[in-house]
A and B are shown apart, each in its own frame.
Chain A
Amino acid sequence: MEVQVYGAEKVTTSKRRQSQVRLNRARHTATKWSEADRQRAIERLEHEIHQMTSVKRKLFDKLFQHHERQLLQEVGTMATGPRSILAKKLAQIKTAAEEEVYGAVNMTLNKRVEFQVRLSDAETEATTWSLADIDCIVSQLEREIYRITSNEQMPFKQELSIRLIEFEAWWQAIGVQELRKTIKQCVIHFGYPKRHLVSHISESIRRMGSGDNFTTDISERLHIDNVKEAYRSTNKVNYIRQMLKHNDRSTALDYMEETLSYLALQGWYNIDSAKAFNLLSAADKQRNTRRAHLLRLQHCQDEPFFHPVSPQVHHLRETHVRRVCRSVKLTSLRDASEDF
C-alpha cells in the first residue's frame, strides 16, 4: 500500500531497512531505564511518601555512614554477600536510621509498600512504548527518510484505516470460518502415513499372504527364550558359553520333539513311546486302560489297532525319555496333529 500511495521510487528497500534500524534505535532509547532515572524517581517518591527533605537526607547519610563504619569494625569485611550477617545488620541499621531521621510516622510498613509499588509503576511507565509514540516516530522517520510531506501522509492514513475496517469485517464474516476449516483439515485429517498404509493391507495380503509373516513379535519372543531364560539357567559366571550351550540343547530337544511328533502323526510310534511323550489322545488313553481291556475280553471284541512299530525307529524307553526331555513340554497326539 505504501508503494501504491507514495510511489515505488520513494519507498525503496534500502530506505525501508534504514527506517527499521532507526525505529529500533528510537525504541531502545525510549524504553531505557537508566540508573540516573531510577535515582530521580526514588528521590521524588521519597519526598512525596516519606516527607524527605535535603537536610534530612544529609543527616540520614551522616548517621548511616557512622553506624556502617562501626559495624565494619565489629564484623570485619570478610563476608559481604546479600545473605551475610553484615548485609542483614546493615539493613537493620538503615531501617533504624530512617525511622530516627524521617520519623516513625513517615516510615510505616504501608508507606514502604506504597513506595515500592509506585517505583515499579514509574519504571513500567517510563519503559512502555505506546502506540502514539510509535505513530509519532514513524511519521517523523517517513518525512525524513522517504521525503514524504504531511499532506501526503493524510490520505495514506485514511486509506489504511478504511482497509483495516474492511479487513476486520472480512475476518468476522469469512476469515475465522476459513481458519477453522484449515485447522480442521490440517490437525484432524487422519492423513498420517501409518493410517494411509492400512488401506493397502487387503491388496498386500492378496499379493504376499497374511500379515503374520511380517510380524516382529516372533523375533521379540525369541529374545525371552534365547537370552533371558538362557541367562537365568546359568550360574552367572562365564555365562555366554553356558547360554550358547543351553540354546544348542534346547534347540536339539525342540527338533527331537518335532521329529517324534511328525513320526507319531505318520503312525511310526509304539505304545511305550506314545505313553512317555503323552502323545495318546484321550480316547486312546481310555482304550488303553486295564478296565477297558477286561471289558473287551468280556465282550469278545477285537484289540484296538495300533500302527506297527518300525524296526528303524529308536525304541525310546520311558525312563530315558523322562531324563532327557525333562524341560520339554510334552504334547498330546491331538495337539501334534493340529500343529501339523
Chain B
Amino acid sequence: MIRTLSVNYARILDCSKDDGKTAVETASDEIVMGAARALCEFSLLVSQHNHSDLSLTALDDSLKRFYKKKGAFRDQKMSQSAKA
C-alpha cells in the first residue's frame, strides 16, 4: 500500500488543479494528506533496523494520528457518491 500511496495521492498533491472544489473539500484534502503523512512516517519508522523507546513512541504517535484522520477518506467517498 505504501508503494501505491504516491500514485493514489497524486491528484490531491497536484494543487494547480482546483476543479472548483469547495472549502469543505479542500479541508478534507488536507486531512487526507495528514493521514497519508502519518502512514508514511509509520512505514519509515517500522522499517528501521534498530529501535529505541523514542522511536517506538513516535511509531505509536504516527499510528494514532492516522487513526484520528482516517475519517476523511470516508467523508470524501460519501461526498463523491452523493455527487453521483
Contacts from A to B (Cβ < 8 Å): 180, 184, 188, 190, 198-199, 201-202, 205-206, 210-212
A206 and B55 alpha carbons, distance in the complex (Å): 11
A201 and B50 alpha carbons, distance in the complex (Å): 14
Contact B74 A184 (CB under 8 A): yes
Contact A205 B63 (CB under 8 A): no
Decide if B65 is an interface residue (CB 8 Å cutoff). no
Q: A184-B78, A211-B46 are in contact. Are A201 and B59 (CB under 8 A)?
A: yes
Number of A-B pairs, beta carbon distance below 8 Å? 30
| B 58-77 contacts with A by CB, 8 A | 59-60, 63, 67, 70, 73-74, 77
Contact A188 B74 (CB under 8 A): yes
A115 and B56 alpha carbons, distance in the complex (Å): 80
Decide if B22 is an interface residue (CB 8 Å cutoff). no
Decide if B51 is an interface residue (CB 8 Å cutoff). yes
Contact B48 A202 (CB under 8 A): no
Q: Hey, which chain B residues are within 8 Å of A198, CB to CB?
A: 42, 63
Q: Hey, which chain A residues are within 8 Å of B78, CB to CB?
A: 180, 184
Decide if B17 is an interface residue (CB 8 Å cutoff). no
Q: A198-B63, A202-B56, A205-B56 are in contact. Are A188 and B73 (CB under 8 A)?
A: yes
Taking the nearest CB of chain A, how far is it from the CB of B6, in angstroms?
A: 19
Q: Hey, which chain B residues are within 8 Å of A205, CB to CB?
A: 51, 56, 59
Q: Hey, which chain B residues are within 8 Å of A180, CB to CB?
A: 78
Contact B63 A210 (CB under 8 A): no
- Chain A CB within 10 A, most for which of B46, B63, B77: B46
Beyond A180-B78, A205-B56, 11 extra complex contacts between A and B, CB < 8 Å: A188-B73, A188-B77, A190-B70, A199-B63, A201-B46, A202-B59, A202-B63, A205-B51, A210-B50, A212-B47, A212-B49
Contacts from B to A (Cβ < 8 Å): 42, 46-51, 56, 59-60, 63, 67, 70, 73-74, 77-78
Kindly list the 9 A-B residue pairs having the minimum CB-CB distance in the complex, ordered from nearest: A188-B74, A202-B56, A202-B59, A202-B60, A205-B51, A190-B70, A210-B51, A210-B49, A212-B49
Please give me the residue from chain A that is nearest to B50 by CB atom. Answer: A210
Please give me the residue from chain A that is nearest to B61 by CB atom. Answer: A202
Q: Hey, which chain A residues are within 8 Å of B49, CB to CB?
A: 210, 212
Q: Hey, which chain A residues are within 8 Å of B60, CB to CB?
A: 202
A212 and B47 alpha carbons, distance in the complex (Å): 7
Pull 8 A–B residue pairs with CB atoms less than 8 Å apart, ordered by A: A188-B73, A199-B63, A201-B63, A202-B63, A205-B51, A205-B59, A210-B50, A212-B47
Q: Hey, which chain B residues are within 8 Å of A190, CB to CB?
A: 67, 70
Taking the nearest CB of chain A, how far is it from the CB of B46, in angstroms?
A: 6
Taking the nearest CB of chain A, how far is it from the CB of B40, in angstroms?
A: 14
Taking the nearest CB of chain B, how far is it from the CB of A125, in angstroms?
A: 35
Q: Hey, which chain B residues are within 8 Å of A206, CB to CB?
A: 56
A89 and B43 alpha carbons, distance in the complex (Å): 75
